[in-house]
Amino acid sequence: MEKDYSQHQSNKKDLFQMSLLRRAYEILVMADYAPQLFARVILPLYQHDYVVCDRYFYDTLLTDLSGDVITDPQNAIDRYRLYEKIIPAPDYEFYVQIPPEVSMERKDDIPDIGYVRDRKEFYDAFAEANEMYIIDGTKTPSEVCETVLNSVFD
C-alpha cells in the first residue's frame, strides 16, 4: 500500500503544480464546505447558546487541502488567517494529538502511515500557532471528554 500511496501523492503534487488549478480546487473545496458551515454552525449559533463541532473548519483546510494545494504548514496557517475573517471563531479549540502509529492501530481506513505523518505535521504546527488546547490522544475517550469538560467549565 505504501508504494501506491507514495505514487498517488506524487501524482497529486505534480497535478497541483499549476497555480490556477490549485486555486480553482481550493475554491471548489471551500464552496462545497460553505453550505455545511451555514447549516451546521452559523444557523445553529442563532438558535442555540452552544454549538459543539468535531473538527470544524480546520479539518477541511488541513486534511482536504494540505499537502497538495497547501504545501507547507506555515502556508496553511497563513491561509487560515484569511478565512478566519469570515468564519465564526470558536470560543474553545482543542486538538487531540496522537502518534501516527497509534492512529494506524486504531483505524483501518488510513491508506498509509505517511498520510498520518504528513497531516500530523500540519495539525501540530497549526495547533501551536493558534494556541489550541492540546490533549493527549492516547488517553481513553472518557479521559479526553473529561479534559474538555474541565477546560470549558472550570
What is the per-residue burial (b if ≥16 Cβ within 10 Å, else e) of 26-48? beeebeebeeebeeebeeeeeee
Per-residue pLDDT reduced to its tens digit, 45-96: 999 998 999 888 888 888 888 877 888 899 999 999 999 999 999 999 999 9
Strand partners, 96: 135
Residue 41 in grid coordinates: 454552525
pLDDT given for residue 81 in this prediction: 93
CATH number (domain holding residue 62)? 3.40.50.300
CA dist 65 and 23 (Å) reads 10
pTM: 0.81
**DSSP class per residue in 78-94:** HHHHHHTTTSPPPS--E
Domain span at 94: 2-153
Domain count, the chain: 1
CA dist 83 and 63 (Å) reads 16
Per-residue pLDDT reduced to its tens digit, 5-40: 666 556 556 555 657 788 888 889 999 999 999 999
CA dist 66 and 119 (Å) reads 7
